[in-house]
Each structure stands twice: as C-alpha cells, then as structure tokens.
Amino acid sequence: MKKIILFLLIMLIPIKSYGLEVSASSAILMDMDSERILYAKNIHETRGVASISKIMTAVIAIESGKLDKEVTIGEEIKKAYGSAIYIQVGEKMKLRDLVYGLMLRSGNDASLAIAKYVGNSVEEFVTMMNNKAQEIGMKNTIFRNPNGLDQEDGGNISTAYDMAILTSYAMKLDDYKEIVKTKEYTLKTNKNTYVWHNKNKLLFQYEYTTGGKTGYTEKARRTLVTTASKDNLNLVSVTLNDGNDFSDHKDMFNYGFKNYKRFEILKEGDLKLYDDIYYGIYDLKLLDDYSYAINKDDKVVLKYELEEQPREGVCGNVLVYINDKEVTRQKIIATKRKQSNTSFWKWIGKLW
C-alpha cells in the first residue's frame, strides 16, 4: 500500500518562438542527455547513411580498450576505395591514430584496418557493429560494412533517429568526444607524416559545435551528423539526403537553443515533503540530479510514491512527467534521523 503525493509544477519560460524548416529527406534534432526529440522529419524512414556509419566503427574501436596498441597495416586496405588517408601495407601506428583518420578524413582504408585489427576480420567486426546497434536501441539499422560504401553490398541502412541515438551514446565516451572535436591532427609513422584537417565544416563555422561526421555516396547522397552545446544544453542533429546540410544544421541548433533550456528538475540530496506525517523521524534523500530540455509550453509534474509504513532504505520513488508522459523515475532513500541523548535537565543545566 502506497500513499501518493502529487506536486504540480508548471514552467513558463520566456523564450521567443522560432520556426524551422530543413531541406533534408529525413532530419532530427535531439537533446543528447534526455533523448528528447526537439524537431523531427521522417525520422524513422530507413535510408542509406554513407560514411556517418563510421561513428559506430569508432565506438567499437574505442570500446575495444586497444586505442593505444600498435597496429601494423595489412593487405586488407587494398580493398578500400573512395575517401582515404592513404596508409600503406606494413605501416605502423596506434589504433587511436586510425580512429582519427577515420573520423577527421573519413578514411575507408582506416576503417578496414580498424575492422581487421579489432574484429580479426571485417565480417566479424560488422557483427560487432550490429550487436552494438541492438544493444543501444537502434531498431531500424543494418550494418554491412565498417565504412558506409554502398556500391558492392547495398551499404549500411539506418534512420535519422537511430543515428541520433548512436551519436548520443558515442558522445558519452571521452575518447570519442576528444577525437571528433579535433580540427587538425598530425601523425608521424615509420613510413609517412600526416596532417589531417577535419571535414566537418561546422567545427570552423559554428562556435557551439562539439563534433560530428560527414558522409556522401551517389546512392545515399549527403548525410551529416553534428553535435553542439550551449548553456548546458547538448544537442545532436542528423540529416539524410540533404544538399544544404551544414546550413540546415546551424538552423536546427539555433532553433533548439532558442526554444529550449535545460532545467534541473530533481536535485541530489535531502528531499523535503512539508505535509508528510509518516516520515517525520526520517531523512529522505535522492541519489541523483535530473535535468531536462524544457520549452515554454511544457507542463512538468512530479509524483511522489512512498511506502505507507516508514522504513529505512528504499522507501519509494519520485516520478517525473512532461506533458503527461513519464520521462524518469528515481528512488527515494530513507534514513532514520539521529536523536539527541542529552536529557532536558542536562540541557537546562548547560544554560547556567
């Protein structure tokens, strides 16, 4: 049996309304922290995604734990075509260097070298990519190769939504965040010296940009993923088949930053329920903060559910609703308040 306390909080935010139109066949703007969708256009429509596939290739490489291991480039790179970093058979470099070449210059040769080193074969690496996609909730994605080329096998198929989910996951990895925000990378190997400049023009054109990945094939056309952060609001934009992609991404980010603000809805620490009569001798706590991207029309409701019989430990939950949809729930922890052992008369004696 639970008692339920309802607390209604309506947030009215003085934000000027700002419209948005993009030319992409599919597009999404998402808050990476809460995965709230701020703008959507055909976001679940499956399409070829070209080289933005390499975001998953980078994730698998980073999570292998081998970034600082040395790789000797093998014969596998001879099958690469299209964009390249022009590495050579027998060349030695760290896996981390290959990921820089993969993400800054979209090296298809780098993708094959990564796949062979991390997965032992390209085929096994692709299996790892698809397993990871399922694990993180990419429900409409099929990876067929580690680079996004689509002339031989039909290429990699995904959606704007799935690519936003993937990028939100990737941006939680420190190594990934560092690599994709890099504008220039210099590398010297046993065979060559490289200076790579990032193909993501938004890094040079839009001050809030934190990363991203470009893509293009004749079949998929232009694809683009970018991320940007401002005032603690962390956004990802994805466009598929968009001839005006960099401009559209700027417009999408401006739309997000003008229409949404990040608000701290729950705060870690002591929880005060002023009309509570059950837990008067207990201290109630929340273990985590919780923030959400809110706009001026949102209605936020906090619903507290507590066990009717007081006890220490987990004693209930606080549920957060945005516009009548539950977005999170967090446990409420009770600890019995320590009582003073000082008697009344001893306390009186101290006054004298």
Using one digit for the tens of pLDDT, what is the confidence trace for 46-93? Answer: 999 999 999 999 999 999 999 999 999 999 999 999 999 999 999 999
What is the set of active-site residues? 51, 54, 106
Q: What is the mean pLDDT of residues 18-40?
A: 93
In the chain, where are the structural domains located? 2-13+263-336, 26-243
As a whole number of angstroms, the distance between CA 300 and CA 9 comes to 5
As a whole number of angstroms, the distance between CA 157 and CA 188 comes to 35
- Which stretches of the chain are assigned E, i.e. beta strand? 2-10, 26-31, 37-41, 47-48, 70-72, 92-94, 157-158, 184-188, 193-197, 209-217, 221-230, 233-240, 261-266, 269-271, 282-286, 290-294, 299-307, 313-322, 325-336
Residue type, position 168, single letter? S
Q: What is the mean pLDDT of residues 256-269?
A: 93
CATH architecture assignment, domain 26-243: 3-Layer(aba) Sandwich (3.40)
Is 17 a residue whose pLDDT tops 60? Answer: no
Q: What is the mean pLDDT of residues 328-350?
A: 70
- Please say whether the beta carbons of 145 and 124 come within 8 A: no
- pLDDT for 186: 98
Lowest-pLDDT choice from 43-57, 142-156, 248-262, 327-341:
327-341
Task: Tell me the per-residue pLDDT of 268-314, one tens digit each, with 9 for 90 and over.
Answer: 988 877 555 666 778 889 988 999 999 988 999 999 888 877 788 99
| Burial label, 252 (beta-carbon count in 10 A; 0-12, 13-18, 19+) | buried
CATH number of the domain at 2-13+263-336, please?
Answer: 2.60.410
- pLDDT for 33: 95
The strands making up 299-307's β-sheet, listed across from edge to edge, are 2-10, 299-307, 313-322, 325-336, 282-286, 269-271
CA distances from residue 16 to 12, 70, 208, 237, 340 in whole angstroms, order as listed:
12, 52, 20, 21, 54
- pLDDT for 11: 56
Which one-letter DSSP state was computed for residue 291? Answer: E
